Amino acid sequence: MTSINAIRFNRYQGAMVGDETISTSGGLAYHTSDKVQPCVPELVRNAFGVVAGMATTGSCSIGENLKRDFHDWLLARYRAEIDREGHKPASFLNLDQMMEGLFELVVRQKHIWFSDRLKGEFGFDVAEFIAGHYERNGRREEIKDRDLTRRITDWLSWKNMDPEVDGIFLNAGLFAGYDEQLGFQIYHFDLRDGYWHRVQTCYFAEGSGRHSVDPAMYEFVERLHIDERRGDVDPLEGLVALLAAINTASTHEAGVGGYPTVMLFDGREPIARRQREFSDDRSWLGTRIARAYSTGYLSQKACFELLDGIFFKDEPFESAYDHFWTNAREPERLCRLLRGYKVQPLVDVRG
């Protein structure tokens, strides 16, 4: 399972963070998933300055297919515009229009999944089922069995939430990015209820981790004034709050943990730096810094300076790591806490 999250700081800035643990059939856990990925082709990004990322939860194969199909669809659409006009178009799709196209691919993926399932089990696809008949070797076969028809109809509508079709319905995702027209926006799409929408709150959490991320984020969001929620969230405060919330999810949710992916957006930067991805030692250190702060082993000042250096000022990992332990309170106890020992937090001295 997964924790995928997005937060909007202001018109130009935002972030996506994803974290996941996958279990093997033998009960082993590994952290090699890549749920949050850039999804706008380089040609489109360089031509129009639009950047975006996609994060999915549910079946890994469904998510990967959607990311690949969306990238290919955007690239084909851009090339078709060039072929039609004979040069680069003056404008291209904005984020709303991209999300519309993405959801069409979501619906198509659902149709393909069901057709493959029906073909494998019954010998006909969704279109043939809806028509009520199919032809094989020149022979017309009617689909008349009432029990079979009811069973497939229940599958297609997920009426009884049948586990046999969880593989397609239990998929959802976040799409977030920046374009010059709309600024930074977050979108949520869901196969369970078959919809997409532009997120109106400053953050959104999906996946199994949302049950822990949401309660942890409520306290942060409720302290913000309404104008701050609508586009004046301090980037460091917002990122710390989200990383701390994901840490909470990793403690309470079996499907969350490992190396997180942190993706930052800033529309004021040159195009090459508008979207930056951290999925290595820096992202791991960032979550450790947030945990040390939330448990009182690191002051707010030190926490913010460290995360500012790692994620916004390109401080080398080795330097940030040394500064982390230099600023830590009771580093020996903190080391044990971060290694999973039952160590009491120092929340009474945090500040």
Q: What confidence score (pLDDT) does residue 33 get?
A: 62
For 214-258, write each residue's pLDDT tens digit: 999 999 999 999 999 999 999 999 999 999 999 999 888 877 877
Q: What is the model's pTM?
A: 0.92
* CA–CA dist 351, 345 (Å, integer): 13
Q: What confidence score (pLDDT) does residue 40 get?
A: 98
For 9-35, write each residue's pLDDT tens digit: 999 999 999 987 666 656 666 665 678
Q: What confidence score (pLDDT) does residue 344 get?
A: 87
Please, what is the average pLDDT of the chain?
92
Give the residue extent of every domain in the chain: 118-164, 280-351
Intervals of the chain under pLDDT 70: 1, 21-33, 347-351
